[in-house]
Amino acid sequence: MKNIAYKISVIIFIGSLLAGCGGNSETSTSSISSDAKPTAVSGAVVAAPIDNATVEARVNNDWVKVGTTRNGQIIFNNLEKITKYPALLRANADGRGRNSKIDAPFFAELRGVMVSRTDTVYLTPVTTLGAYLFDHAGGTIDAAQKARVKITSLIQKTLGFSSVDPYANPLGDGLITHEVVQQTFMVLLNLGEETNNASMQQFTTVMEKLATGMEKNTFLGAVTAINPNVTAGIEHYLDSQKSRIAQRAAALLYDHESTAAEQEAERINLLSSMNTILESMQPDTTVAEKFICERITEGSTATVLLSSPVYAPKKKNVPALRFKLSLLSNNETRDTILRPASSSAFHPTSNKFTITALPSVGILNKGVPVSVIPEQKLKAGSTTYSSGSEFSFFFDVESAPLEAQHSITFTATDNPDLSYTITFIIKGEDEIVIESVSSAGSSKLYPFDEGEAYNIPIGSITTLTEGQLAAKLTPAFDVPSPEKIFEAVQVRFTAPDNFMFRGQGAPRQQVAISIPPIAANNSFTFSMPANLDIIATKPSPVGKKVILIDVIEKNTQKILAQASGTVYFVPKSHLADIASATITNQSQSEFTYPKESAESDITLDNLTFSCQLQTWYDLAEIPKEQQPETVLELFPNVWTLRFDNAPTDTNGFKARDESYTNELDLQPFILSGLQNPIQFGLVDYSKEGGDDCRPIVKPFTTSDSIHLYFKMNADSEHEYAVKGNFILKQDK
C-alpha cells in the first residue's frame, strides 16, 4: 500500500504561547461530530511558524510519530497509524522545533484533539488545556465535547470575550482579537515570556496542574493554586493586567524584520486596537460553573467528594446515601464551602438549582433525617434549592433488576446547560464492587543506579523495596475477607512510558500482585514483594512519573476501577539536587507608583525575600529524619531578577552607568550564605555605613511582572524559574 501523505491544516500558535514557570455534564450549541466534514483552512500561524517539530498521536498508550511541521502546517505521513478517534495529538515534545520568525529554538509542547480523520485541528495554549481535560475525562467523543464546551465557556463568560470561539480559525480579521484572548489566558496563569526557554519547558506541567485542579474545583480555584496573585478574583486581576496583556500581544504580531521606525508605528497601532478589545471585555464570574457534591458520613466531619456511579446491593435496608450539593461560580473556590468562615476573598454567590430527574428505586428527602419521611418525598420540577443544600436518598432496590442504572439529576437555574448527575447501579448482594482505589506505596522516590541531573539513560534500573508499589482498595459495600477479595480481583500496575518492570523472565510493561492483601479499616492493601526492578527502555527526563493502577475482575478480565500514583524517578547520585524552588517571606509582593511617575525612575523600597529550595527527597515527601544529614550538596551561584519584558534601552533595572536592562544580578545581595532558604536583601544600608542597595527601575507598562531565576553555575545552559513573582504596577 502506498504511504499517502495527508496534509491537514493544523495551526500551531507559538506567537500566542507564553510558557509557564513553574460528574458535571454540559451541552453546547457548537457540537463535535466524529464524522465531521473536512474544512479547507490555509496553514498559518500567529507571529511565526514552528519548523521541524515532530507531531505525534497517542495510539494504544504509545506516542507514534504521524507527521512534522512546515511553516506551521502539519504534513501527515503516518495518519493511518491512528486507529481510533478522537485522537490526542502533541507537537514538539522533543523540543526540536524552531521558531522560524526569529530562528530560535522552541521548547514548549502543544496539544490538541483530532476528532476524526478529516478534522482540522488548531493547537493553541487554550486547546492544550482542552486536550488535558479531554484526556482526564476518558478520551471519548463525549469527553472531547465537554472539554470544548468548558473551554468555550471559560473564554466567553469567565474571561469576557463573548463573541470568540476558541476552536475557530483565528486568522484573518480575527487575528488581533485571538492574540489578545491567548495572552489574557497566559497572563492569568502568571506565565512567562516565550523567549524564556526554561519557563517554556514547564508549559505542559502548568496545563496538567490546571486541568487536575479543575476536576475538584472551579476554574478560579485551580488558577489560584498556580497564580497566588489572583487574590481578589479573576475580573479584578485581569483589570489590573490589561496594559501588560496588550504589550505582550503587540510584541508578538509586528514584523520584527522591518525597520525600528516601522516596528514602532505598527506597535502603536496594535496597542490601540488591543486596548479597545480589552476594554470591551465583560467577564461574568457569577454564572454557575461547577457542582461540588460531598458525601456526608455519620459520625465523621471529613469532607469527601462523592464519586459516581454509586453502587447499591440488591437487598433490604441499604444504608441511605447522604450528600451536600454546592453550586459554585468562578467567583468562588472550593475553600468557600470548606471554610466558609475563613478570611478568603472569595465569597459564595446565590446560585440555585432544581431537580430535573429522580429514580424510581427510592425516596429523596431534603436534609439528613434518621429515617425516610415518605410524606416529604422530593419531586423533579421547578422548586429551587440553594447551594450547600443537604439531601438523603433512601434506597428501595430489593426488587430492582441487577445492573439496572438509575439517576438523580440537578440543573443550574441560571445555566441550563450545566447539570450534575448521580448514577446508581444495582449489584448482587454477594458481588465484589470496588468503590475506590488509590496508590499506597511506601515511598514515591525511585533511585536509579545510573543517570545525570536531567536524564535517565537506557538500561538504568531501580530495585523496588517492600511495599513501595502498593494499592489500597475500598469495596462499595459488604466488606469481604482478604481471601475472598483476592479470589475475585487482580491488581495490576503499568510502568510509565519508556520504562518496564523486570523480574523473572523478559521485561514487561505491566505486572500483577500475586499475594493476598492486608485488611485495615474496611479497606485492603495489595503490595508488590521486593523482587522486582524497573528498567529504562529509552532515555527519559528525570522527575515526576505516573504509574497506572487497574483493578481487574479475574473471571471476566473486566477493569473494575482505575487510579494512578505519582512517583519520582531520579538517579541516586542526584537525589539531593534542587527539584523545586519557591519565593517565600516576601516583604511585599506588589510595588505601586503614582501615574505621574510612569516615565520616571522608581525606587523599590525594602525588597527582602527568601527562596525555599526543595530536593527530590522533599518532593517525594521523604521525612526530614530519613534524609541524609547534608541534603543540599550544591547551591545555585547565579541568581537573577528579570522583568517579563523584552529588553529595551529605556526600561527595566537601572545600572550604575545609567543604562537599563531587564534583569538584575542578585549575587551581591545574598544574606544567608549557603543556607536554605536563601535570603536576599535589597535595602538601604547607608545608615549602617553600607550602600543603598534598593533597585531603581523604570516601568515597561502599567503592570509589570518580575520573576526570580537561578543557575547552578555561570556557564550552565539550564536556568530554573522560581515559583512566585513580584508585581510593579501603576496606581489608579
3-state secondary structure of 456: strand
Report residue 369 CA to chain centroid gap: 39
What is the CB-side half-sphere exposure of residue 727 using CA atoms within 13 A?
A: 19
pLDDT band (50, 70, 90) for residue 172: low
pLDDT greater at residue 620 or residue 231: 620
The CATH number fitting domain 434-571, selected from 3.30.450, 3.90.75, 2.40.50, 2.60.40: 2.60.40
> Does position 679 have pLDDT exceeding 90, yes or no?
yes
Give pLDDT, residue 675: 82
CA 526 to CA 523: how far, in whole Å?
10
Number of helices (H) and strands (E) in the chain: give both, helices first: 12, 49
Cβ atoms 36, 4 nearer than 8 A: no
Torsion over CA of 252, 255, 259 and 261, rounded to 10 degrees?
-60
Please state which of the ranges 22-26, 67-71, 293-297, 459-463 shows the lowest mean pLDDT: 22-26
Q: What is the mean pLDDT of residues 655-678?
A: 90
Type and span of the H or E element at 69: strand 62-70
Q: Which pLDDT score, from 0 to 100, does residue 343 have? A: 44
**Range with lowest mean pLDDT among 47-61, 177-191, 328-342, 635-649:** 328-342
User: pLDDT grade, residue 389 (50/70/90)?
Assistant: very high
Is 196 a residue whose pLDDT tops 70? no
Locate the domains of the chain by residue range: 42-280, 290-333+350-427, 434-571, 578-730
Residue 715 has pLDDT above 90, yes or no: no
Residue 433 has what pLDDT? 86
Mean pLDDT of the chain: 84
Mean pLDDT to the nearest integer, 58-68: 88
| Residue 182 contacts residue 17 (beta carbons within 8 Å) | yes
For the ranges 56-60, 392-396, 410-414, 726-730, the lowest mean pLDDT is seen at: 726-730
pLDDT tier at 338, thresholds 50, 70, 90 = low
CATH of domain 290-333+350-427: 2.60.40
Residue 299: left (phi > 0), alpha (psi -120 to 50), or beta? left
Whole-structure pTM over 0.85, yes or no? no
Q: Which of 96-100, 308-312, 438-442 has the lowest mean pLDDT?
A: 96-100
Q: What is the bridge-based pairing of β-strands 543-553 and 540-541?
A: unpaired
Q: Look at residues 48, 87, 55, 11 and name the one whose alpha carbon lies nearest to residue 255.
A: 48
Least confident of 23-32, 127-136, 566-575: 23-32
Average pLDDT over every residue of 124-146? 92
Per the DSSP assignment, residues forming a β-bridge with 352 are: 386
Mean pLDDT value of segment 661-672: 92
Distance (Å) of CA 714 to CA 622, 637, 665: 31, 7, 12
**What pLDDT shows up at residue 378?**
97
| pLDDT at residue number 697 | 96
Would you state the pLDDT for residue 88? 94
Q: Alpha-carbon distance 624 to 605, whole Å?
A: 36
How many Cα atoms are found within 13 Å in the side-chain-facing hemisphere of 3?
A: 8
- Of the two residues 568 and 255, the one the predictor is more confident about is 568
Model confidence at 5: pLDDT above 50: no
Residue 11 has pLDDT above 50, yes or no: no
CA–CA separation, 341 and 335 (whole Å) = 10
Percent of the chain residues past pLDDT 70, beyond the cut: 86
pLDDT at 33 exceeding the cut of 60? no
**What is the average pLDDT across 5-22?**
40
- Answer whether residue 21 shows pLDDT above 80: no
Can you point out the beta strands (E) in 341-442?
Answer: 352-357, 362-366, 384-386, 389-395, 405-412, 418-427, 434-439
Q: Say how many CA atoms lie within 13 Å of 562 toward its Cβ.
A: 9
The predicted pLDDT at position 47 comes to 33
By percentage, how much of the chain surpasses pLDDT 90?
Answer: 45
Which among 583, 603, 585, 584 is positioned nearest to 593, based on CA atoms? 603
Cell output for 658: 545609567
Compute the 3-state secondary structure of the chain and give helix, strand, coil in percent, each to the nearest 5: 20, 35, 45
Q: How much is the CA Rg of the chain, to the nearest whole Å?
A: 28
Give the chain's end-to-end CA distance (angstroms, integer).
67
Side-chain-facing half-sphere of 218: CA atoms under 13 Å: 29
Higher per-residue confidence, 390 vs 71: 390
| Best mean pLDDT range from 275-279, 295-299, 475-479, 529-533 | 275-279
Q: Rounded to an integer, what distance in angstroms lies between the CA atom of residue 264 and that of residue 400?
A: 74
Query: CA 635, CA 622: separation in Å to the nearest integer?
Result: 20
Helix (H, G, I), strand (E, B) or coil at 80: helix
DSSP 651-697: SEEEPTTS-EESEEE-GGGB-SSS-SSEEEEESB-GGGTS-B---EE
Residue 49 has pLDDT above 60, yes or no: no
- Write out pLDDT tens, residues 503-542: 888 899 999 998 999 998 889 999 998 889 999 999 999 9
Least confident segment among 11-20, 451-460, 656-665: 11-20
The per-residue pLDDT for 44 is 27
Residue with cell 502539519: 74
> What would the pLDDT profile of 203-214 be if each residue is shown by its tens digit?
888 999 999 999
C-alpha 200/C-alpha 186 separation (Å) is: 12
CATH no., domain 578-730? 2.60.40.1930
Out of 90-104, 339-353, 474-488, pick the least confident. Answer: 339-353
In this predicted model, which residue has the larger pLDDT, 11 or 500?
A: 500
Q: Looking at residues 364-392, what average pLDDT do you find?
A: 94
- Centre a 10 Å sphere on the Cβ of residue 146 and count the other Cβ atoms it contains: 22
Residue 18 scores a pLDDT above 50: no
Q: Which of 68, 123, 66, 114 is nearest to 87 (CA)?
A: 114
pLDDT tens profile 634-643: 788 899 999 9
Query: 672 or 338, which is more confident?
Result: 672
Average pLDDT over residues 384-389: 92
User: Is 268 buried (19+), middle (13-18) or exposed (0-12) by CB count in 10 A?
Assistant: exposed
Question: What is the per-residue pLDDT for 277?
Answer: 92
Residue 95 phi/psi, 5° resolution? Answer: 70, 20
Inter-residue contact 452 to 571 (CB < 8 Å): yes
Please state the rounded mean pLDDT for residues 56-73: 84
Q: Read off the DSSP letter of residue 4.
A: P
pLDDT at 348: 53
Report the C-alpha gap between 613 and 583 in whole angstroms.
9
Q: Is 410 helix (H, G, I), strand (E, B) or coil?
A: strand
State pLDDT tens for residues 438-483: 999 999 999 999 998 889 999 999 999 989 999 999 988 877 789 9
Residue count of the chain, please give it.
732
In this structure, the number of other CB atoms found within 10 A of the CB of residue 611 comes to 25
Contacts of residue 242, defined as CB under 8 A and 6 or more positions apart, other chains included, come to: 275, 278, 279, 703
Compute the average pLDDT of residues 180-200.
78
Distance of CA 446 to the CA centre of its chain: 24
Name the burial class of residue 436, with classes exposed (0-12), middle (13-18) and buried (19+) by CB atoms within 10 angstroms of its CB: middle
